[in-house]
Amino acid sequence: MTRVAIYARISSDREETELGIERQIDSCQALADRLGFTVVATYADNNISAFTGKRRPQWEKLKTAIGDGSIDGIVCWGIDRLYRRPIELEHLMDLLERRRTLFIHPVNASKVDLNTTDGRNQARLAVVFANHESERKSERLVLQREQAAANGLWNGGRVPLGYKKHPTKRGHLLIHPGEARALRQIAKMVLADKSLYACYTYWLKVTGRTIAQNTLKNALLSPTITGFRVHLPQRDRVKEAIRDLYRDSSFLDKHTLHKATAWSPILQYDEWLRVRGKLQRPEEYERRAQGKLSRLAGVLYCGVCGVKLGFDGKSYRCSVTGTNGTPGGHVGIQAEKTCMLVEGLMLEWLQSTETELSPPVVSLVDRTGESNELQQRIQRNKDMYEAGEIAALDELRARNEPLRVRLRELAKAQAMHDAAHNLVSNKKMMLDQWDELDGDQQRAAMKTAMKVYIMPASKRGNVFDTDRLVPIYLNTGKKEPALSELPAIQAKQRALSAP
């Protein structure tokens, strides 16, 4: 009995149907049946080139079978299905040094006996020609892709986020309406210093398409989204990851952008540059995003003792000291997810027509007079410095700095006042302008609309329990519940959210 293994491989299977693999296996099986071989194993590597040197898992298993003597030969469609680089053939020869019985029988050629000198020479010549053909094919493909880039066409491969393949025109893309809308909104979120996690969660919510978070970031960094085509040579792709190329601050200087003719932009170029600039400074971007997380100060309260929760950069915690004198308080909760959830509650409230605030809920204090007086004092000090009445620049700065600090405090208070006043007078306007508001304005609006009590955790492990948040809407004409009533409200909330 002659024991053989079938090996099949196809370099490119973009549709991932494996039909090419199946045809190879069927042909190999027919040859084995005709010659009276017994097929003991079948190995197939789909969508993997033998020329690039990329690891082929099934090929490695086949070599193990050769080494342990479980097969006498290999049946394949062609010699180039096994190897296209001389070094791979030599590895196979090394295996035969320990076991000198192996033949290769291609479907499209005669049998190659690696046990003889002529057979080994025949195999070496075949792999040299296969390697030569692969190099020529690679050169043609590089030229083809460079030409396609210059012409603004899409080269194929994975379809970029926000687009879909054109049903009839090769190399052309159409905008995917839902994904494009999501990407435009996410671009605004980045410019508003929303965290990448918030952007990613928004993507999942509105598109329902699961992707890696880095895939979303790379889509925003790539010029494809703005209607430009860039050709990245294979040598650059191998040298460093695509994400590193896109994140490189000198990317636009190193690579030529070609105006795409095969798809339309999702973002305008100027807006894309601003988004790209934000994402290329991750430390500053995340610091600003973290600042956004602190906007729940004065909104979150401990569900046990009722004190306001403090923000430590990553979480909100009760400030009450523990019974053994250690800090930590009654409750703590992760900031980013909480911030997203509370913001969602706020937006739902703004969209609701059932709940209206009972004015007046804020004191309409006019701070314009004090601000004008402070600005006049700062200008008088400057005039005195120019007239020589204030001798040193340091003295001018010492006089004006307290005035500037007070001006900033007034501006912050005015922003919070305006946001709260707008919330009282026009919920729809507040909803439309929400993403344009800064952290102080959003905080003022949320403080006016609600208190959110954080209840103690009841689930173990790193699980975010949304039912720990118990929102109480303010200024609605209803009496605010006591702390002792919160557990019952939470239980009712859990029952409503249960599947």
The 3-state DSSP class for residue 258 equals: strand
Same domain, 264 and 304: no
Same domain, 252 and 336: no
According to DSSP, the β-strands at 332-334 and 163-165 are unpaired
Give the Cα separation of 80 and 109 in Å (integer).
Answer: 11
Domain boundary among 252, 280, 308: 280
Which structural domain, as residue segments, surrounds residue 213? 163-280
Same domain, 452 and 492: yes
- Of 115, 101, 109, 118, nearest to 82 (Cα)? 109
Which CATH number belongs to the domain containing residue 138 in this structure? 3.40.50.1390
Helix 196-207 and helix 335-351: axis angle, to 10°? 50
Length of the chain: 499
Mean pLDDT of the chain: 78
Give residue-wise pLDDT tens across range 226-282.
Answer: 888 776 655 555 444 555 555 665 666 666 666 777 889 999 988 998 898 888 776
Q: How many Cβ atoms from other residues are within 10 Å of residue 247's Cβ?
A: 17
Q: Which residues contact 119 (CB under 8 A, 6 or more apart)?
A: 103, 112, 113
Domain boundary among 234, 262, 280: 280
Same domain, 48 and 171: no
Chain center to CA of 90: 43
| pTM exceeds cut of 0.85 | no
Q: Are 306 and 433 in contact (CB under 8 A)?
A: no
Same domain, 384 and 452: yes
Residue 324 banded pLDDT, cuts 50, 70, 90: very low
> Is residue 155 one of the residues assigned to a domain?
no
> Is residue 158 one of the residues assigned to a domain?
no
Element (H, E) at 140: helix 117-150
- Of 119, 129, 58, nearest to 93 (Cα)? 119
By CB atoms closer than 10 A (0-12, 13-18, 19+), residue 50 is: buried
Same domain, 103 and 226: no
Q: What is the mean pLDDT of residues 60-84?
A: 84
- Tell me which residue has tokens 């975010």: 464
Taking 50 as the threshold, does the pLDDT of residue 363 lie above it? no
> Is residue 154 one of the residues assigned to a domain?
no
Domain boundary among 280, 307, 338: 280
Same domain, 270 and 328: no
The pair of structure tokens assigned to 439 is 């952290």
Per the structure, the count of domains in the chain is 3
- Of 266, 272, 256, nearest to 221 (Cα)? 272
Same domain, 353 and 230: no
Q: Are 497 and 466 in contact (CB under 8 A)?
A: yes
